[in-house]
Structure 1
């Protein structure tokens, strides 16, 4: 098995210095689709399986490649990890560049494209409509990866409305999973636009909850939908 380092920071950060041998995938263009309406997919819509096959193939990722996705704590490495799993490639991990003390380089390696076969899963996402229909269902627990202040609705720097999906528990992605997070029958990871929710999803998978689902549109989609309720206030559970 070969190892492919994939740097998913923005292009300026990658150009300023990256791990030797790391290729670059742009978080906005490669790990997100272009969506004309955030109410249908959120601010970072999921790419299609065909789009991901092209992206990962151009990055030199094949069936026998272990992918180590690299970021600087933004959550995009976990997003790359989740997208790989979403299309059937489980041989992946993440690295926070802030924990790396070795040399960085500026040259971009040549990459031999390969054929990436996408086998899209159908059991790892949940739609807004299902969440709406199941609000108040104790068997379905939403874990919101945003900061406690955004979860409470004290502030909202990115979306037009502050607050959260009713009943969602706070599980800030920069902190360990809250007590009891792995216990509910069904777990959904959510956030602002489906990025840092992948950090929570990765933690849950590592804790043994392979069945965690992602709400891709997350609050950026939810808050733009007419008639979808929003909750504010409260203390972090």
Structure 2
């Protein structure tokens, strides 16, 4: 059976050199875009290839898009193929710990129709705490062929939300301060989409940076999604990256069907006519 949401460090260690497994390092720092690559070069899980958030896991930024548009499916498929990842490969994604960037790759692969992808629970810190080795060599993997099947995960765009804002339950994964408009380090406008509820992605995590127990997550998420009242639900954040962590948590509890608002806040505010709300209430 493939791993489809999470994998623990011990299991990865046992399967690290298994045929047709691939490990992908997704470390990134929004304030220092080259930090992830430098960290990978300094030391990574043996055999791990590096996937840059802005060069691989996002498409080119345009005038009307958010900061991290979805990549072109064929371009991402070509990158996967070059790095030896095919449609039968078990992929394990990791970042420094919380999974906020690894979850982006997890969601993208699911979006392309590839279910055999899991996030390393606790990330590199959990790997090192277990005593896992690091390697600074660039891996040499034979090429493969990845055929994308885009559309396998639900997505909602800005036009649909702007056209019928009350027709969706939006859940914003940013911090309470950013949601309220009290702090905005990344985007030129502070606040949130009117009506959106706030659940920072960090609430999915325990103190060890691993996902909370499945039962806890399911209870919390079902309570939150009850506010939908029959409406479809979507998750968002600043640019469609950390929102994927919510979708990972939902999938781990067996809750499917929640959409990603890929453009998120940084795309919503591209049009100054779109409404903005500040404060800690929807």
Aligned partner of 1:158 in structure 2 is 186
| Residue 65 (structure 2) aligned to one of 36, 41, 45 | 41
Deviations 1:57-94 (A, max 9, x none): 12211111110001113611000000001111011011
Contact 2:100 2:242 (8 Å CA) reproduced? yes
Look up the match of 1:210. 256
1:2 equivalent in structure 2: 20
Instruction: Find the counterpart in structure 1 of residue 246 from structure 2.
Output: 200
4+ residue segments displaced more than 6 Å: none
Q: 1:120 aligned to 2:144?
A: no
- Pair 35,201 (structure 1): closer, same or farther in 2 beyond 3 Å: same
Deviation at 1:181, TM superposition (A): 2.7
Whether the 8 Å CA contact 1:173–1:200 is kept in 2: the answer is yes
Compute the RMSD of aligned alpha carbons.
1.7
Indicate if the aligned counterparts of 1:5 and 1:22 stay in contact, CA closer than 8 A.
Answer: yes
* Residue 172 of structure 1, aligned match among 200, 206, 215: 200
Higher helix content, 1 or 2: 2
Task: Identify unmatched segments of 5+ residues in structure 2.
Answer: 1-18, 28-35, 205-216
- Residue 110 of structure 1: which of 123, 135, 140 is its match? 140
- CA distance in 1: counterparts of 2:246 and 2:100, whole angstroms: 9
Question: TM-score under structure 1 normalisation?
Answer: 0.92
Structure 1 gaps of 5+ residues are none
Q: Show the counterpart of 2:43.
A: 17
Structure 1 residue aligned with 2:207 = none
Deviation for aligned residue 1:123: 5.3
Q: What count of residue pairs does the alignment treat as equivalent?
A: 232
Task: State whether residues 147 and 172 of structure 1, in contact with CA within 8 Å, keep that contact through their aligned partners in structure 2.
Answer: yes
